[in-house]
Structure formats: structure tokens, C-alpha cells
Amino acid sequence: MADYLKKKGLPVTFVKNISSAFAAAEALKDGEMILLENIRENKGEKENDRKFAEQLASLADIYVNDAFSVSHREHASVCAITGFFAELCGVSTGEEVKQLSAAFQPFASVPFHPRRS
């Protein structure tokens, strides 16, 4: 993702772990961003730890969930972090919700009549 963003001309720095993310965040200039490595194996992530979520939140100005496929997980970076931000839905997640809503819409309008014996 960092390479893709760089090719688009966006000033992004890839950070491999959360401990180095703090130093990288301190060095950011206006308009720059950091991209943090997959954090699933970090202590606190899978436990939905609020303190870990707070650490993550301290690195950001906004939170956008654009990972529909993991939105069901009660992990710190998906669930607990929302306590520190207004929740925003990313483009991909919004499209997934739109498509699923459309797929189930016909069923919502068909009346259900149980069989009578």
C-alpha cells in the first residue's frame, strides 16, 4: 500500500511496528502520513484492549474503516478505537454495504406467508 500511495504522489512513510510509529509520527510535517504494518499480532489487538486502541488513536487525526472483511472482529483497531473518533466508513466498505443492501432488498419486500396445513 505504501508503494501504491507513493506512486500516486502522496507523502507516505511505511512503519513496521507501533513502537517506531510514535517517532515517525513526531517527525511528520503537514500533509505527510505514516502507514503502519499489519498489527494483528500486537499485544492488545485481538483482546480489543482499550489502552492499545488509545495508543493507536494517538497516532491519528481521523479513523476510517475501509476493511469490511474484518469489521465483524472485536479487535482494538476495529472496535475499541472507535471510542476515540467519530466513525467513518471508507469507500470500499461503503460499496460493500451498498451491494449487500441491494442484494437483500428484494427479500425485504416479499411478504412471508407460513404454510397452513
Cα atoms found within 13 Å of the Cα of residue 99, Cβ hemisphere only: 7
Q: Which pLDDT belongs to residue 67?
A: 82
Q: Are 11 and 33 in contact (CB under 8 A)?
A: yes
d(Cα 5, Cα 62) in Å, to the nearest integer? Answer: 18
3-state helix, strand, coil in the chain (%, to 5): 45, 10, 45
| DSSP summary character for residue 74 | -
48: left (phi over 0), alpha (psi -120 to 50) or beta: left
List residues bridging with 13 in a β-sheet.
34
- Reading the block at residue 27, the C-alpha cell is 517527525
Q: Which pLDDT belongs to residue 47?
A: 97
Q: Which pLDDT belongs to residue 46?
A: 95
* DSSP-based three-state secondary structure for 16: coil
Q: Which pLDDT belongs to residue 5?
A: 82
d(Cα 73, Cα 79) in Å, to the nearest integer? Answer: 7
Q: Which pLDDT belongs to residue 117?
A: 47
In the chain, which stretches have pLDDT less than 50? 117
Instruction: Read off the pTM.
Output: 0.73
